[in-house]
Structure 1
């Protein structure tokens, strides 16, 4: 059984941090330097970063559970009529079990319930499997961008969006 549970306690942020440390290295180390993955984890997916994003940047985080085991997480940011799908990560051994599909359906429902007009996300251009999933779910590539970070690394990404209402 797949469950999506809002994460709002420090102990849950720590679980997400632990999941992120495992998942991000397996996803990104083949396409970006591992030290950039470490930087990304510390700056954006550590327990403290998650707590700060929730308190100060209108983020919500959710744990993804499969048969009561924490197997992934979801992070979204509400900005007026736009929802940023910031993070959707699932442990490799649990991919293909419709957890990501369920999470995307949850995001769509959240967006609809909150008057959101479009959902946006950023995906690394080398992450073709993920790009294909989002395309299949109604997202479109709207822009090719280079994201540069204070640690000196840069990555080539796509901005993707799914329009829910005509603007």
Structure 2
């Protein structure tokens, strides 16, 4: 079984917020479409790789094995209703780590997933022109996300 989890990320009263929406992936539904639907963003706008509209962004940030199923996590922003959301975990929240032969940790907390998504978005803000363009529409949100150490799913550095 596969589930799609969408973390709607926003800002309220100067703090990052999130709401999580999750459901099992329906037969023949693309995970991206499920993430958009869970975010309430509707169908994609324009061509598949067109510019962001109103600063909206959905990005696949991680996956994990949880309770006998694979959970695909997407970050969606900006949250259209951040006042009803929860505050982000404190900056510097723990991060799940595995080992070389067991890369998946035995348990992944929601705080781990949220922190990873924030670091991933901070990385994309610095490296992806489409994300940088979307960020122009929501400077307070992206300023808070940029406080996270930019990262991807593993270290990016030369081996030598």
TM-score, normalised to structure 2, is 0.30
Structure (1 or 2) with the greater strand fraction: 1
Structure (1 or 2) with the greater helix fraction: 1
